[in-house]
Amino acid sequence: MLRSTCVFGVILLLLFFSGCTPWPKGESLEDPRTRGEKEFDPLGFQQDRRIVTEDEYPVTEEDSIRLEQMKTEWEKVQEIEGSAPERVFRVQFYATKYPDEARQIADLVESQLSEKTYIDFKVPYYWIRIGDCETKEEANSLLEKIKGLGYGESWVVEMKVKQD
């Protein structure tokens, strides 16, 4: 009985120590998911090596006329819409990576303060802003209201917006 217990203990010790040995130096396991990244050359595609020059597809006079027409049409639209940028002040009060959360918070604050909220996406965050204040003083007043709702890390931002 004692002998079998000793043999069993020795086997367990051998298994334990053989499992705890480090990998031999210089050898490492390669991640099969990244194997191709070392050899990949994005410029190696033959179909991507062809560069189209203006000689192959010259700009015709008809193209130039159409481009000028498009420019003048665009200028007319800009004049009609009165799209000169206008500066307004808004209060930035929340940011999240989740669009549903952004919409919920924006709706909640909009209903509490009766002010228009805006959600802007700039990777990776949805930035929630409120107000269309013409002066910084108005925006600071709105900022105090927002802070009163518990959004202490809020601040005033100046933005360019197109007139309606």
Q: Name the strand (E) or helix (H) holding 141.
A: helix 136-148
**Interatomic CA distance for residues 146 and 153, integer angstroms:** 10
Radius of gyration, CA atoms only, the chain: 33
Query: Which CATH architecture describes the domain 85-162?
Result: 2-Layer Sandwich (3.30)
What is the distance between the alpha carbons of residues 18 and 14, in angstroms, rounded to a whole number?
6
Whole-model pTM? 0.49
Q: Where are the domains of the chain?
A: 85-162
All residues at 6 or more sequence positions from 159 whose CB lies less than 8 Å from its CB, including other chains: 87, 88, 89, 90, 129
Indicate the residue type of 136. Answer: K
pLDDT in tens, 4-25: 788 888 887 777 776 655 555 5
Most confident of 50-59, 83-92, 114-123: 114-123
8 Å CB contact between 130 and 159: no
